[in-house]
Amino acid sequence: MSAFQWPARVYYEDTDAGGVVYYANYLRYLERARTEWFRAHGHNQLALATDPGVLFAVAEVSVRYRRPARLDDLLITSCVAARAGAASVVFGQQIRRGREDGELLAEATVRVVCVDANGFQPRRLPPQIIGDLQ
Amino acid sequence: MSAFQWPARVYYEDTDAGGVVYYANYLRYLERARTEWFRAHGHNQLALATDPGVLFAVAEVSVRYRRPARLDDLLITSCVAARAGAASVVFGQQIRRGREDGELLAEATVRVVCVDANGFQPRRLPPQIIGDLQ
Amino acid sequence: MSAFQWPARVYYEDTDAGGVVYYANYLRYLERARTEWFRAHGHNQLALATDPGVLFAVAEVSVRYRRPARLDDLLITSCVAARAGAASVVFGQQIRRGREDGELLAEATVRVVCVDANGFQPRRLPPQIIGDLQ
Amino acid sequence: MSAFQWPARVYYEDTDAGGVVYYANYLRYLERARTEWFRAHGHNQLALATDPGVLFAVAEVSVRYRRPARLDDLLITSCVAARAGAASVVFGQQIRRGREDGELLAEATVRVVCVDANGFQPRRLPPQIIGDLQ
């Protein structure tokens, strides 16, 4: 099964004075791809915050930067979601240049925890999400 | 009377691939200085959102960029606040390099409107704020 | 003639604790649309920086914020470019919700100056750009 | 020996619609503290880029988010630097609320690689840096 993919263009806003994408901004591409993964699977995160009243909060991020992304690059961010306990999902993500099998620029692992939208306490994953996890 | 001043250092996060501060990020320095102006006058914006239940929303911004700010620059942002009607405050702001009378990098006018914290409808300026306006 | 249009989705990265898009981040959408206007007209800004060696630096921005953009909104940013002297272009831009004729969220005027890519001195607009201005 | 510490205030620019600091923006605080660590030890990164012609590029980041930082919080970011091979430095960093021994909000490990300022190939750490590493 091929991973979910989401494109992003690099604009000036993403770069820094080193001439490449600022290291924190790769996390934006990662989050856009996770958000679109939810949407593509029919889950609206704003709706989930109301019913059943849960948010997905990032608990851990690891990024390995392999090559710099540059101004005007088209980036393809992939996203594979796996269950990790009663309340957690782990996303394996890659950012590649130009196309799905383009040059690997960054690899990331992101663990998100399902939490109560008000109190931020951990909550079991909603059943409708579990079916979409590996 | 001298204007309120607030310093900021330029880090990589602020710059872009042109080697200078990204044009939208000057608005961050402007907002930090306005926030600290409120704080210096004894107004906590989070407390005002609860009692009397108002926020200050930006309605208009004009920025004139005169010279680029660069990595590692120390910037001094000034802030003069004037009343502009029953519900508005206009901030005159400047960003200078290095010190209060340093090289002028940007000038801005920012109009903020006092709005209801829930519905975003305009509300009269709280009396405790009015006393601090020119 | 209809204006050039460019879409953008609002992600968490764009919003602030007020629950709406942070005021500086509208300038990102404006710049993405201007960059894509250049691209749509066959002008690659990276190539122009090499030959004839010019950049377009923002000299003035005015934004009028009419209604807040929110998480998950699809925004449509328009862009009309007009000549303004030997070295300047003025962009008239609007940001609307959902579609070309959707609710107007923000209006902006952005003046950019054609400058030498090295020394930042003003340079005449390249002839290939002038043909695309109103 | 106590770790190097650097303060940062949370402004609207740092937060998101969840009401807390956006997960990528913690990496800005981490980088500000590393930059100030260099400065406090007498190393100007812009000067190092010219002589001996090296930059420090982030190769790996791991962040564990423990509790959310909120608008107006004062954050204290710590920084301990250790040598990790001929060309790498590993920074151990923590972000705490309010003071040096305040509530732990995030922990991070950041590996940076000394690279040629032009070609981005790994270069041996400059001797003047090595003396400041653990």
The closest CB to that of A60, out of D27, D59, D64, belongs to D64
User: What are the pLDDT digits (tens) for D11-67?
Assistant: 999 999 988 999 999 999 999 999 999 999 999 888 999 999 999 999 999 999 999
- What's the token pair of residue A80? 């594979």
Structure confidence at residue B1 as a pLDDT band (50, 70, 90): low
Is a pLDDT exceeding 80 seen at residue D86?
A: yes
User: Which residues of D are catalytic, by number?
Assistant: 16
Residue A9 neighbours by CB under 8 Å, 6+ apart: A72, A73, A74, A75, C32
Question: What is the average pLDDT score of chain A?
Answer: 95
Query: How close A13 gets to chain B, by Cα (Å)?
Result: 7
Largest CA distance in chain D: 45
User: What are the pLDDT digits (tens) for B77-109?
Assistant: 999 999 999 999 999 999 999 988 999 999 999
> Residue A100 has what pLDDT?
85
Is a pLDDT exceeding 90 seen at residue B119?
A: no
Query: How close A24 gets to chain D, by Cα (Å)?
Result: 5
H helix or E strand, kind and range, residue C37 = helix C26-40
Structure confidence at residue A1 as a pLDDT band (50, 70, 90): low
> Residue A118 has what pLDDT?
84
> Residue B2 has what pLDDT?
76
Tell me if residue C101 is catalytic.
no
Amino acid at the residue C74: L
User: Given an 8 Å threshold on Cβ–Cβ distance, is D45 in contact with B13?
Assistant: no
Domain count, chain C: 1
Please report residues of B whose CB lies closer than 8 A to that of A20. Answer: 17
Is a pLDDT exceeding 70 seen at residue B10?
A: yes
Q: Interface partners of B (3+ CB pairs, < 8 Å)?
A: A, C, D
Could you identify the residue written with the tokens 């690099």?
A10
Could you identify the residue written with the tokens 């609007």?
C94
Name the residue range of residue C107's domain.
4-132
User: What are the pLDDT digits (tens) for A91-133?
Assistant: 999 999 998 899 999 999 999 999 998 888 999 999 989 999 9
User: What are the pLDDT digits (tens) for C41-67?
Assistant: 999 888 999 999 999 999 999 999 999
The closest CB to that of C60, out of B31, B60, B64, belongs to B64
Instruction: Tell me the percentage of chain B whose pLDDT exceeds 90.
Output: 87
- pLDDT (average), residues D100-118: 95
Question: What is the average pLDDT score of chain D?
Answer: 95
Question: What is the average pLDDT score of chain B?
Answer: 95
Is a pLDDT exceeding 80 seen at residue D1?
A: no
Q: Which of A84, C11, A131 is nearest to A92 (CA)?
A: A84
Instruction: Provide the pairing of β-strand A74-83 with A4-9.
Output: antiparallel
Give buried/exposed letters for D74-103 (b at 16+ CB in 10 A, else e): ebbbbbbbeebeebbbbbebbbbbeeeeee
CATH number for the domain spanning D9: value is 3.10.129.10
Burial group, residue B3, by CB count within 10 angstroms (0-12, 13-18, 19+)? middle
Structure confidence at residue D84 as a pLDDT band (50, 70, 90): very high
Structure confidence at residue D95 as a pLDDT band (50, 70, 90): very high
User: What are the pLDDT digits (tens) for C9-37?
Assistant: 999 999 999 889 999 999 999 999 999 99
User: Given an 8 Å threshold on Cβ–Cβ distance, is D72 in contact with B46?
Assistant: yes
> Residue D60 has what pLDDT?
98
Instruction: Tell me the percentage of chain A whose pLDDT exceeds 90.
Output: 87
User: What are the pLDDT digits (tens) for C63-112?
Assistant: 999 999 999 999 999 999 999 999 999 999 999 999 889 999 999 999 99
Structure confidence at residue C1 as a pLDDT band (50, 70, 90): low
Could you give the CA distance from residue C89 to residue D35 in angstroms, rounded to a whole number?
Answer: 37
Higher-confidence position of A134 and C26: C26
Identify the bridge partners of residue A107 per DSSP, sorted by sequence position.
A64, A94
Chain pair C-D, CB pairs under 8 angstroms = 31
User: Given an 8 Å threshold on Cβ–Cβ distance, is B13 in contact with A16?
Assistant: yes
Amino acid at the residue A1: M
Amino acid at the residue C127: P
Sign of CA dihedral B29, B35, B38, B41: negative
> Residue D31 has what pLDDT?
98
Q: Which of B124, B92, B133 is nearest to B111 (CA)?
A: B92
Could you give the CA distance from residue D105 to residue D44 in angstroms, rounded to a whole number?
Answer: 29
Find out whether C36 and C46 touch, Cβ atoms under 8 Å.
Answer: no
Amino acid at the residue C61: V
Query: How close B110 gets to chain C, by Cα (Å)?
Result: 10
> Residue B100 has what pLDDT?
86
User: Given an 8 Å threshold on Cβ–Cβ distance, is B12 in contact with A18?
Assistant: yes
Which of A23, A29, A114 to substitute to test the interface with D, most D CBs within 10 Å?
A23
DSSP for A78-114? Answer: EEEEEE-SSSEEEEEEEEEESSTTS-EEEEEEEEEEE
Could you give the CA distance from residue A17 to residue B71 in angstroms, rounded to a whole number?
Answer: 7
Could you give the CA distance from residue A63 to residue B12 in angstroms, rounded to a whole number?
Answer: 19
> Residue C120 has what pLDDT?
85
Q: Minimal Cα distance from D20: which residue of C?
A: C17
> Residue D99 has what pLDDT?
87
Could you identify the residue written with the tokens 């710590």?
D78
- pLDDT (average), residues A8-15: 97
Could you give the CA distance from residue D134 to residue D119 in angstroms, rounded to a whole number?
Answer: 28
> Residue B28 has what pLDDT?
98
The closest CB to that of A11, out of C35, C44, C46, belongs to C35
Coil, strand or helix at C74: strand
Instruction: Provide the pairing of β-strand D104-116 with A104-116.
Output: unpaired
Is a pLDDT exceeding 70 seen at residue D73?
A: yes
